[in-house]
């Protein structure tokens, strides 16, 4: 019996030329529907599968429509990544230039907003279409170090013929997503790219570490914003009788009075001044503050009445939960981990204990501490709609899951055994669940 396929590892790719030839053979075999002697890495193979299902031509030199110079400038001004450019440049740019690499920073839509580094490499990138304003989304230009990390929401290195389009076969890149620490929303991707021969096995860890430093800087900025909001709100709260709290635009609490401190509240979608129903708090008088809202709680905390939850997993990288019921209606975008957790609980309406849920999520029943922490974070905005012992949706909740059109696109970043099992269902769509 033939030996089973092995995976290409970074150690296999130390000899760049030899690895490039091997990966070219693997790519040619897989894209022609043949069995390759060496299996591509799972993250690459899954990306190729998405491209083939989307009908992208691997032999076509894809050039995306560029944004105008004015639009690039406008997006730069509005991008939260602008404030962490010094961190990215300090961590990546000087070394990238020496190593004949460039640094690329794209926004959440995959548009290149900044591109700096070695001049010869920048000229080579021009020929590949990696220019300012270019659209590097995976479904536009194929597997690459900007678009693929944005889809799977984790760092990815793409080497040589691991790129889906043949025109990028002499290119290497390593990219890491940068998320907003306030709500987990994708802000963009930072990538280090260069000619094939400049590949180094440590590049991915290096880029990932710098991306984490950028997120840490964003977290520091958020804490400073909360401090400023607290200073504005403190005199107002001191004069208020009853329960009230000051929160920022994302619902993070700066200060409270007359009630226990809570880290974050789930503000209604499109929150504005007036009397509003806030999940977990009830009816509140909402007043604008510089950088946030003042919430004066008008009544008692509402009981968890019957509610309907729609878990929308159909949109690429934009998973969300919508809640409607007697207490009002609201929605929020979900991080990959929370989307995964809520999907598992929707599949198992009877509930799961911490150990069983850890097995479902991580394949390891011992990771109960992580599970409990994640469930606690989710309960901050779902409140009594999510019960424990075991963890489950309340019997008063009607839940519907909207899956992607193709089961193989279900939560592509997830490594949860149950999710992987659902993706292996090769039907046109996983079942739409409603109870």
Say how far apart CA 116 and CA 348 lie, in whole Å: 48
Mean pLDDT of 232-259: 91
pLDDT in tens, 188-206: 999 999 988 777 778 999 9
DSSP labels for 216-280?
HHHHHHHHHHHHHHHHHHHHHHHT--S-EEEEETT-BEEEEESS---SB--PPTT--SEEEEETT
Cβ contact 423:391 at 8 Å: no
Under DSSP, is residue 311 helix (H, G, I), strand (E, B) or coil? strand
Mean pLDDT of 378-386: 81
Q: What is the 3-state secondary structure (H, E, C) of the chain?
A: CCCCCEECCCCCCCCHHHHHHHHHHHHHHHHCCCCCCEECCHHHHHHHHHHHHHCCCCCCCCCCCCCCHHHHHHHHHHCHHHHHHHHHHHHHHHHHHHCCCEEEEEECCCEEEEEEECHHHHHHHHHHCCCCCCECCHHHHCCCCCHHHHHHCCCEEEEHHHCCCHHHCCEEEEEEEEECCCCCCEEEEEEEEEEHHHCCCCHHHHHHHHHHHHHHHHHHHHHHHHHHHHHHHHHHHHCCCCCEEEEECCCEEEEEECCCCCCECCCCCCCCCEEEEECCCEEEEEEEECCEEEEEECCCCCCCCCEEEEEECCCCCCCEEEEEECCEEEEEECCHHHHHHHHHHHHCCCCECHHHHHHHHHCCCCCHHHHHHHHHHHHHHHHHHEECCCEEECCCEEEEEECCCCHHHCCCCCCCHHHHHHHCCCCCCCCCEEC
Output the pLDDT for position 429. 43
* Residue percentage of the chain with pLDDT more than 90: 37
Under DSSP, is residue 76 helix (H, G, I), strand (E, B) or coil? helix
Cβ contact 266:381 at 8 Å: yes
Q: Which two tokens stand for residue 134?
A: 């270019």
Residues 6+ apart with CB under 8 A from 418: 344, 347, 360, 361
Under DSSP, is residue 431 helix (H, G, I), strand (E, B) or coil? coil
Mean pLDDT of 381-406: 86
Under DSSP, is residue 94 helix (H, G, I), strand (E, B) or coil? helix
pLDDT in tens, 91-126: 998 765 566 889 999 999 999 999 999 889 999 999
Q: Answer whether residue 224 shows pLDDT above 70.
A: yes
Residue 8's pLDDT band (cuts 50, 70, 90):
very low
Q: Answer whether residue 298 shows pLDDT above 90.
A: no
Higher pLDDT, 28 or 43: 43
Mean pLDDT of 216-223: 95
Q: Answer whether residue 431 shows pLDDT above 90.
A: no
Residue 16's pLDDT band (cuts 50, 70, 90):
low
pLDDT in tens, 313-353: 988 777 888 887 755 567 788 888 888 999 999 999 888 99
What sections of 117-248 are H helices per DSSP?
Answer: 119-128, 138-141, 147-152, 203-238
Cβ contact 188:108 at 8 Å: yes
Output the pLDDT for position 326. 56
Q: Answer whether residue 296 shows pLDDT above 50.
A: yes
Mean pLDDT check: name the lowest of 43-52, 265-274, 327-336: 327-336
Mean pLDDT of 248-260: 91
Mean pLDDT check: name the lowest of 113-122, 215-224, 274-283, 295-304: 295-304
Cβ contact 230:209 at 8 Å: no
Output the pLDDT for position 227. 95
Round to the nearest angstrom and report the end-to-end CA distance of the chain. 48
Across 244-256, b (16+ Cβ under 10 Å) vs e yields bbbbbebbbbbbb
Mean pLDDT check: name the lowest of 172-176, 287-291, 416-420: 416-420
Whether the model clears a pTM of 0.95, i.e. scores above it, the answer is: no
Which residue carries 């709680």 as its tokens?
A: 297
pLDDT in tens, 122-155: 999 998 888 999 999 999 999 999 999 999 889 9
Mean pLDDT of 42-63: 84
- Give the chain's mean pLDDT: 84
Say how far apart CA 220 and CA 229 lie, in whole Å: 14
Q: Answer whether residue 300 shows pLDDT above 70.
A: no
Under DSSP, is residue 325 helix (H, G, I), strand (E, B) or coil? strand
Output the pLDDT for position 328. 58
Output the pLDDT for position 380. 76
Give me the domains of the chain, ranges plus CATH numbers. 58-219 (3.30.450.40), 240-297 (no CATH), 307-434 (1.10.10)
């Amino acid at each position: 019996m033939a030996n089973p396929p092995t995976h290409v590892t970074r150690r296999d790719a130390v000899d760049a030329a030899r690895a490039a030839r091997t990966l070219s053979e693997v790519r040619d075999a897989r894209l022609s529907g043949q069995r390759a002697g060496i299996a591509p890495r799972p993250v690459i193979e899954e990306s190729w599968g998405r491209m083939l299902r989307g009908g992208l031509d691997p032999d076509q030199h894809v050039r995306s429509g560029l944004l105008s110079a004015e639009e690039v400038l406008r997006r730069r001004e509005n991008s939260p990544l602008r404030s962490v450019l010094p961190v990215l440049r300090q961590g990546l740019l000087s070394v990238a230039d020496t190593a004949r690499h460039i640094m690329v920073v794209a926004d959440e839509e995959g548009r290149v907003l900044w591109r700096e580094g070695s001049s010869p490499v920048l000229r080579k990138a021009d020929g590949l279409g990696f220019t300012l304003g270019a659209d590097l989304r995976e479904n536009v230009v194929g597997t690459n170090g900007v678009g693929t990390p944005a889809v799977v929401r984790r760092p990815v290195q793409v080497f040589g013929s691991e790129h889906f389009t043949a025109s990028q076969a002499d290119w290497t890149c390593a990219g890491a997503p940068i998320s907003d620490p306030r709500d987990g929303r994708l802000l963009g991707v930072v990538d280090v790219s260069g000619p094939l021969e400049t590949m180094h096995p440590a590049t991915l860890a290096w880029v990932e570490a710098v991306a984490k430093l950028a997120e840490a800087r964003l977290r520091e900025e958020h804490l400073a914003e909360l401090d400023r909001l607290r200073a504005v709100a403190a005199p107002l709260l001191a004069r208020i009788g009853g329960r009230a709290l000051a929160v920022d635009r994302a619902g993070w609490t700066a200060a409270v009075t007359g009630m226990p401190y809570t880290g974050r509240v789930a503000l209604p979608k499109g929150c504005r001044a007036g009397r509003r129903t806030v999940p977990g708090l009830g009816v509140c008088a909402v007043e604008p503050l510089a950088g946030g809202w003042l919430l004066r709680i008008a009544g008692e905390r509402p009981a968890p009445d019957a509610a309907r939850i729609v878990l929308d997993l159909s949109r690429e990288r934009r998973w969300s939960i919508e809640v409607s019921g007697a207490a009002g209606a609201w929605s929020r975008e979900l991080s990959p981990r929370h989307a995964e957790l809520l999907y598992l609980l929707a599949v198992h309406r009877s509930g799961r204990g911490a150990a069983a849920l850890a097995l479902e999520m991580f394949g390891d029943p011992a990771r109960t501490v992580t599970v409990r922490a994640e469930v606690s974070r989710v309960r901050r905005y779902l409140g009594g709609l999510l019960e424990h012992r075991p963890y489950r949706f309340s019997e008063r909740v009607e839940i519907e899951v909207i899956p992607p059109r193709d089961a193989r696109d279900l939560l592509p970043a997830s490594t949860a055994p149950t999710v992987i099992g659902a993706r292996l269902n090769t039907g046109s769509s996983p079942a739409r669940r409603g109870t």
